[in-house]
Structure 1
Amino acid sequence: MTDSKAAGFVTLQLKFTEPAGNKFKTIACCTFKGPQSEETEYTVSYFFNKNLMMEYNSTRGNWTGFTAYTIEAAKWWNSDHLDPLKKRIERKLLCEDTLDLIQSIDNLTTIPTVRLKSVKRPNGEHASTLVCSAYNFYPKQIRMMWMRNGQEVTTDVSYSDVMPNGDWYYQTHSYLEYFPTSAEKIACMVEHLGLSEPMFVVWDPSLPVEQRTRIAVGLCGLVIGFVIAISGIIYYNKKSAAYITVN
């Protein structure tokens, strides 16, 4: 969707393949130019081996051929008095009757879940890679930007494609190569239709809470084990001294 508030698109594709590998494809497309059904444009395109051969356009109200053969075929179909009726029925079923559904989907938004993590480089390199990941958002239009001390970072930045995540949702990732310093404040900024203002996720180089908890539990276990070992040694020494005194 180019503009979620102004236009919507529904594309239905039927593919037919011959044994020799020649491919025929038909695409029916509804373009919603406004909230009224009269503003919907319906097109039908015929392709052969990925080449556009013929196209019907409801705004023009006729067929257009793009090869010598399809130009003649378009003339024949444009002279068929039943073909305009067929196209009006198709337009109503595929476009007008689904306009409310398309508009409700068009207004549906899901706020992205954003996570920020660091990935260490192999071979002991000092440079690291920060990964900013956005999950479970809809629609797919999203903008991600890296900020360093309030300024946009334009170098050493890369992006993945926006990929379908299943169940209408999408995910995408952005990467920043950097050398960690204590004086810098690095953040990942995310802009999305579901957000009233940009979302900032600031990179904290300290250990995550879960990792700090695991370390604290490990240290407590080590201290307890050390205390038990010392107590055992003291107890053993006392028993040994008592045994020697009695004899």
Structure 2
Amino acid sequence: MRKGKWGKALGVLGGSWGAPPELCPALTAVFQSLVYHECHFTNGTERVRYVLRYIYNRQQYVMFDSDVGEYVGFTPYGERNAKRWNSNPGWMEYKRTAVDRFCRCWYKTFTPFLTERRVPPSVSISLVPSSSQPGPGRLLCSVLDFYPAPIQVRWFQGQQELSEHVVATEVVPNGDWSYQLLVLLETPPGAGSPTAARWSTPRGPPEMPPDAARSKMLTGIGGFVLGSLFLALGLGFYLRKKVRGGAGGRVPPGPERLPRQPGLSGLLGVTTHANTNVVDGRKAFIILSHGFK
């Protein structure tokens, strides 16, 4: 007799622990007991709400809400438990402090991996042959391995945004905390007109386009080098004239600026630039240029 009772007990435990259905057929797909601990955050930790739910057979029978401050029952069994727990001052004080002890503590632990985590995408543009229309084909922008999911990808021709003939997939999770997105421009750009695909995250205004930033950086470096060279030559010429008793030489004019770097409209290729330093108030962005010779 004892052996039979222990067999039933083991069958119940096996069913609740995920044992094969044949061990406890009476409880399969019916028996389920869950306890949910939830933390709801508004504006960081400015407002925090802690919710504890007890569920049996897919029905919530009692819950604790920190905004309410006590347990609330939804079934006769849940009401009895809620009344018993609410009458225990020590236990209620312990549950009410769960907002700070549980939620705020875990928020500090997981924030660097969740809300503050930023991974810029790997972006490329490729030509897709079109069988329905003549020309060089369609442009496909592949935005891969980024986090978090919210992202915006737009096509530009010069300064004009191309909003028509653009087809995009849904943002697809890769299963490893990264996402991917494909955006196709069905209408090919005109000959000699560069086309850009820009992605952005909801972080504020974009920075300077990378081509312009690179051109200004090269101009500044070139001007500094030329200025230093002319200054050294002028100083040497002046000292030489002074030693010989001459009237002294003229100092060459100040630094010259290098000419602006030519655009890529005459090339068939792609240039990329990624801003990985995403901070509050700024927007990470990338522009990829693709022009036809």
Range class of TM-score, shorter chain? 0.5 to 0.7
Report the equivalent of 2:185. 176
CA separation of 1:57/1:205 partners in 2, compared to 1, >3 Å: closer, same or farther?
farther
Q: 2:122 aligns with which of 88, 113, 122?
A: 113
Q: Is the 8 A contact 1:34 1:40 kept in 2?
A: no
* Deviation per residue, 1:11-33 (Å, 9 max, x gap): xxxx9996235766554222333
TM-aligned CA deviation for residue 203 of structure 1: 2.5
> Whole-Å Cα distance in 2 between the matches of residues 50 and 145 of structure 1?
44
**AA matched with 1:164:** P
**AA matched with 1:140:** A
- TM-score of the superposed pair, with normalisation by structure 2: 0.49
Greater percentage in strand: 1
> Whole-Å Cα distance in 2 between the matches of residues 205 and 22 of structure 1?
65
Q: Is the 8 A contact 1:126 1:179 kept in 2?
A: no
Unaligned 5+ segments in structure 1 are 1-14, 207-247
> Whole-Å Cα distance in 1 between the matches of residues 54 and 161 of structure 2?
46
Report the equivalent of 1:104. 112
CA separation of 1:70/1:111 partners in 2, compared to 1, >3 Å: closer, same or farther?
farther
TM-aligned CA deviation for residue 199 of structure 1: 1.9
Q: 2:285 aligns with which of 187, 194, 198?
A: 198
Report the equivalent of 1:146. 155
> Whole-Å Cα distance in 2 between the matches of residues 94 and 29 of structure 1?
10
Larger relative contact order (Cα-Cα within 8 Å, sequence gap ≥ 6): 2
Report the equivalent of 2:173. 164
- TM-score of the superposed pair, with normalisation by structure 1: 0.57
> Whole-Å Cα distance in 2 between the matches of residues 205 and 74 of structure 1?
73
Q: Secondary structure at the match of 1:95?
A: helix
Matched, 1:41 2:32: no
TM-aligned CA deviation for residue 107 of structure 1: 2.6
51-60 or 94-103, which moves further after superposition? 51-60
Q: Is the 8 A contact 1:16 1:23 kept in 2?
A: no
TM-aligned CA deviation for residue 170 of structure 1: 2.5
Q: CA RMSD in A?
A: 3.8
Q: Is the 8 A contact 2:147 2:178 kept in 1?
A: yes
CA separation of 1:202/1:70 partners in 2, compared to 1, >3 Å: closer, same or farther?
farther
CA separation of 1:92/1:204 partners in 2, compared to 1, >3 Å: closer, same or farther?
same
> Whole-Å Cα distance in 2 between the matches of residues 93 and 100 of structure 1?
11
CA separation of 1:48/1:190 partners in 2, compared to 1, >3 Å: closer, same or farther?
farther
Superposed counterparts of 1:4-23, under 5 Å:
19-20=28-29
CA separation of 1:148/1:69 partners in 2, compared to 1, >3 Å: closer, same or farther?
farther
TM-aligned CA deviation for residue 191 of structure 1: 0.5
**AA matched with 2:66:** S
Q: Is the 8 A contact 1:149 1:186 kept in 2?
A: yes
Q: Is the 8 A contact 1:41 1:57 kept in 2?
A: yes
Report the equivalent of 2:270. none
> Whole-Å Cα distance in 2 between the matches of residues 25 and 102 of structure 1?
23
> Whole-Å Cα distance in 1 between the matches of residues 170 and 83 of structure 2?
44
Report the equivalent of 1:28. 37
Matched, 1:186 2:273: no
Q: Secondary structure at the match of 2:163?
A: coil
Q: 1:155 aligns with which of 161, 164, 169?
A: 164
Matched, 1:130 2:118: no
CA separation of 1:115/1:54 partners in 2, compared to 1, >3 Å: closer, same or farther?
farther
**AA matched with 2:64:** Y
Report the equivalent of 1:241. none
Unaligned 5+ segments in structure 2 are 1-15, 19-26, 204-277
Report the equivalent of 1:224. none
